[in-house]
Structure 1
Amino acid sequence: MSDIIFHHYPISPFSEKIRLIFGFKQLKWKSVMIPSILPKPDVTALTGGYRRTPVMQIGADIYCDTALIADVLEKLAPTPSLYPAPVAGLSRTLAQWADTTLFWTAIAYTFQPSAISGILGDVTPEQMKAFSADRAAMRANAPRMSLPEATGQLKEYLRRLEDMLVGGSSFLLGEQASIADFSVYHALWFARRVPAVAGILDAYPNLLAWMDGIAAFGHHQFDKMGSEQALEIARSATPANAAEYAFVDTHGIALGERVSVMPTDYALDPVVGELAICSDNQIAVQRSDERAGVVLVHFPRVGFQMKRAD
C-alpha cells in the first residue's frame, strides 16, 4: 500500500478527528503541514480548489471530507472498526450530527472575544484580519449563531452527551469506540484546549473522563513530509481503478462528462473534472494539474453536490 499522506494543520478540529483515528487503528502516516488560510497553492494543485482541511492523499488519489476519509481508513484497516455492527447506522448518524450541528455550535461558542488569543496564539492585527476574512469567505451567507444562543444550546448538548455516559459506558454507544466518538470529540476538543472557554465542560465529569479516554488513543507514528514531495508522489502515481466502483446514476450524467463538485453548506469552491466515480456513497472526478499530474479527487455523497460543468 502507498503511504497515507495527511495534509493538515495543528489546530484544525477535523484534522484532530482523523489524527486520533490513526491512533485508534494504529496506522502509520506522513504529515504535511498546510496553511490555515488561503492561498494554499500546493493543496490546490492536488484538489483543484477544495479548501477545507484536512485532505488525505494516497498516491494520486485525493480524499476530501473526514466522513469519506474515515471510510477509506476503515477499508485499509478493518479492525478495530469505526462502525461496530450493532451500532453501525446509529454511529454514522450521530457522527453526522456532531460534524455539523454540534461542531458549529461549539465554534460559535469558542470564537468569542475573550478566547481569540487562546485559539490563534500571538498573532498580529494583520494576521487576525486575514484569518477573519478567510473564514468569512468560507462561511459566505451561512447564518451565524449568536454567543448567547450558542452557549445555551451547547450546554444542552453537553447534558445529553453526559447522559449517554451515565452508568460507566466507556464510549458514547457502548463498550466499543465508533466514528461517533471521534466526531463528537473533535468539536469539544477545540473548546477544551482554550482556557478562556474550557470551563463550560467542568459540569460534566463523565464527558471529561470520556474525552481523556479518546485522547489516549494518540496519533500513532508519523513522519514529516514536505508538500513538494507529496506533489511528486502524486505526479509519479496512477489513480485507483475507477471501474471497480458500481455506477449509481442519480443525476443523468454519464461517466466521463465534465462536472463540478462542491459542498452543500459552506466553502462552496467547485472542483471541476471528468466524472470517474459515481457510486452509492462517493463521487470522484479526474483532473490534470501541471504540478500534481493526473489525480482522482474523491468526495462523499452526503454533504456534497454535483452538476455538469459550465
Structure 2
Amino acid sequence: MADLIFHHYQNSPFSEKVRLIFGFKKLAWKSVFIPPVMPKPNLTALTGGYRRTPVLQVGADIYCDTALIADVLERVAPTPSLYPLEIEGQSRTLAQWADATLFWTVIAYVFQPVAMPYLLGPLTPEQMKAFGADRAAMRGNAPRMSVGEATGSLREYLRRLENMLAGGKPFLLGAQASIADFSVYHCVWFLQLAQPLADILDMAPNLKSWAARMAEFGHGQSEKLRAESALEVAQEAAPASFDDLPFVDTHGIARGETVTITPTDYALDPVEGRLVLSSDTEWAVSRTDAVAGEVVVHFPRLGFQLKKI
C-alpha cells in the first residue's frame, strides 16, 4: 500500500485525534505540516478548495474529515478496531457528538485572551489579526456561544463524561477503546493546552486519568515530508478505481456527472469534480489540478452535501 501522508499542524485538535489513532494502530506515516490559516496552496491543490485540517493522502486519493480518515485507517489496520462490534453504533454516535457539540463548546471556552498564547504560540498583532479573520471566514454566519454559556455547558458535559468512567471503566464505553474515546480526547487535549483555563478539568478526576491513559497510545512512527514531495506523490500515482463498486444514488445524480461537495456546518468551500464514488457512507470526486495532477477527493456523507452542477 502507498504511504499514509498526513497534512496537519501541531496545535490542531482534530489532527491530534488522528495522530493518536496512528499510535493506537501502531502505524507509520509521513508528516506534512501545513499553515493553520489560508492561503494553503499546496493543500488546496490536492483537495480542490477544501481547507479544513487535517487531510489524509494515500497516493492520489485525498481523504477529508477525520470521521472518514478514521474509517480509512480502520481498513488499513483492522486491529485493534476503532469500532468494536458490540458498541459500534454507540461509539460512532458519541464520536459525532464530540466532534461537533463538545468541540465547539470547548472552542468557545478556551478562546479567551488569557489562553490564546498557549493555543497559538507567540503571535504578532498582525498574525493574531490574520488568524481572527481566517477563523471568522470559516465560521461565517454560524451561531457563536458566549463564554458564560460555554462554561456552563462544558461543566455539564464534563460531569456526564466523568459518570461514563465511573466504577473504574478504562474507556468511555467499557473495556475497549473506540472511536468515541479518540473524538472526546482531542477536545480534552485542546482544553489541556489552554493551561490557564484547564483547571475546569479538576472537577472530573476520572476523565483526567482517562486522558493520561489515552495519551500513552502515542503517535506511531512519523517521518517528515515536504509538501512539494507530497504533490509529486500525487502526480506519479493513479487514483483508485470504483467502477466495480455499487453506486448508491439518493440524489438522482449518476456516476460521472459533475457535482460539488460542501460541508454543511462551517468552512463552506465547495469542491467540484466528477462523481466517481457514492456509497452508503462516502462520496468521492475526480478532479485534475495543474500542480497535483489527477486526484480523487473523498468525503463522508454525514456533514456534507452533494449538488449537481
Please, what TM-score do these two structures have when normalized by structure 1?
A: 0.99
Distance 1:215 1:67 in 2: 20
- Alignment pair present for 1:164 and 2:164: yes
Do residues 179 (structure 1) and 184 (structure 2) align?
no
Deviation at 1:64, TM superposition (A): 0.1
Aligned to 2:265: 265
Stretches of structure 2 that go unaligned for 5 or more consecutive residues are none
Provide the rounded CA distance (Å) in 2 between the counterparts of 1:245 and 1:206: 45
Unaligned runs of 5+ in 1: none
Amino acid at match of 2:252: G
Q: Matches of residues 71-150 of structure 1 in structure 2 within 5 Å? A: 71-150=71-150
Distance in 1 (CA, whole Å) between partners of 2:85 and 2:28 is: 25
Question: C-alpha separation between the residues in 1 aligned to 2:3 and 2:111?
Answer: 35
1:228 and 2:228 are equivalent in the alignment: yes
Query: Which has the larger displacement, 190-199 or 167-176?
Result: 190-199
- Whole-Å separation in 2 of the counterparts to 1:41 and 1:299: 20
Q: Which digits, 9 at most, give the CA deviation of each residue in 1:183-218, with x for residues without a partner?
A: 000011101112111111011110000000111000
Given residue 47 of structure 1, which amino acid in structure 2 is its aligned partner?
T
Which aligned segments of 4 or more residues in structure 1 are displaced greater than 2 angstroms? none
The SS at the match of 1:6 is strand
Query: What SS does the aligned partner of 1:113 have?
Result: coil
Q: Distance in 1 between matches of 2:266 and 2:189?
A: 22
Amino acid at match of 1:41: P
CA distance in 1, matches of 2:106, 2:143: 15
- 1:201 and 2:201 are equivalent in the alignment: yes
CA drift of 1:244 comes to 3.9
User: Which residue identity is paired with 1:303?
Assistant: G
1:10 corresponds to: 10
2-structure distance, mates of 1:158, 1:253: 43
* Deviation (angstroms), 1:245: 2.8
Amino acid in structure 2 at the alignment position of 1:72: V
Partner residue, 1:279:
279
Equivalent AA in structure 2 for residue 59 of structure 1:
G
Helix, strand or coil: the match of 2:175? coil
What is the DSSP-based 3-state SS (H/G/I as helix, E as strand, rest coil) of the residue aligned with 2:166? coil
How far residue 308 of structure 1 moved from its aligned partner, in angstroms, is 1.1
Alignment of 1:242-261 (within 5 A): 242-261=242-261
- Paired with 1:121 and 1:228, the residues of 2 have a C-alpha distance of 26
Identity of aligned residues (%): 67
1:37 maps onto 2:37 in alignment: yes
User: C-alpha separation between the residues in 2 aligned to 1:214 and 1:232?
Assistant: 35
How much has 1:98 moved relative to structure 2?
Answer: 0.2
- Describe the SS at the equivalent of 2:115: helix
SS in 1 for 2:53: coil
Per the alignment, in what secondary structure is the counterpart of residue 114 of structure 1? Answer: coil
Instruction: Report whether the alignment pairs 1:241 with 2:273.
Output: no
SS of alignment partner, residue 285 of structure 1? strand
Matches of 2:234 and 2:106 in 1, distance apart? Answer: 36
Amino acid at match of 1:135: R
Between the aligned partners of 2:126 and 2:4, the Cα distance in structure 1 is 35
Partner of 2:54: 54
* Aligned match of 1:212: 212
- How many Å separate the matches in 2 of 1:121 and 1:14? 18
Provide the C-alpha distance between the structure 2 equivalents of 1:94 and 1:113, rounded to a whole number of angstroms: 30
Note the C-alpha offset of 1:120.
1.0
Task: Give the corresponding residue for 1:19.
Answer: 19
| Structure 2 CA distance for partners of 1:229 and 1:17, relative to 1, 3 Å | same
Deviation of the 1:290 alpha carbon: 1.0
Deviation at 1:44, TM superposition (A): 0.6
| CA distance, structure 2, for counterparts of residue 197 and residue 306 of structure 1 | 39
- Counterpart of 1:188 in structure 2 is 188
Distance 2:113 2:123 in 1: 14
Amino acid at match of 1:17: K
**DSSP 3-state at the match of 2:116:** helix
Amino acid at match of 1:83: Y
Task: Give how far 1:117 is off.
Answer: 1.4
Distance 2:241 2:97 in 1: 32
Measured in 1, the distance between the counterparts of 2:179 and 2:244 equals 25
